[in-house]
Structure 1
């Protein structure tokens, strides 16, 4: 389980770096700061899954959750969302080192 969490964290970190690189290239080209919102990035990659997730959240969870939390999340920069996701996944999959050290019996 920890392996999958850490692997997911690595994938989220790679996506965050790619999204940040794309935003920085667009910022240099436009001579202004460009940060792609998560909703726009998801719409570009897979619009069908975005619509399916929106409708399922509004139907199964609660419509207010969709209007407040999900729409707020979709307005945040994509690289920031994936950085936070990578950090959370890494924290959940982190294994504490033993207190006594590695050479104890």
Structure 2
């Protein structure tokens, strides 16, 4: 059951990454230059409160310096790439190994 949930969630996240890639492609064609939506921008637009909660949680639990070191590169990464990596990881975790 857990493998099914991992694969199901992985497929949806991977599909979201594909949608983000297509939207960035359409915007790139319209602008005649490469356009990539960063994770931070998409997160800020969809739920600013959750981004603030994650920042507060990491700063209080681990260290404010940890947020300053890890967050900027991650939040500047293209959304389609982040979703693609997370989706592929979930699919890999839910993959059933062939019996020998």
After TM superposition, the score normalised by the length of structure 1 is 0.88
Partners of 1:4 and 1:71 in 2: CA distance: 31
Partners of 2:59 and 2:21 in 1: CA distance: 30
Give unmatched runs, 5+ long, in structure 2: none
CA RMSD, Structure 1 to Structure 2 (Å): 1.1
Task: After TM superposition, list the pairs within 5 Å mapping 1:1-105 onto structure 2.
Answer: 1-99=2-100
Total equivalences in the alignment: 99
Higher helix proportion, which one? 2
Give unmatched runs, 5+ long, in structure 1: 100-105
Spell out structure 1 runs of 4+ moving beyond 4 A. none
Report deviation, 1:55.
Answer: 1.2
What SS does structure 2 have at the residue aligned with 1:51? helix
Structure having the higher Rg: 1
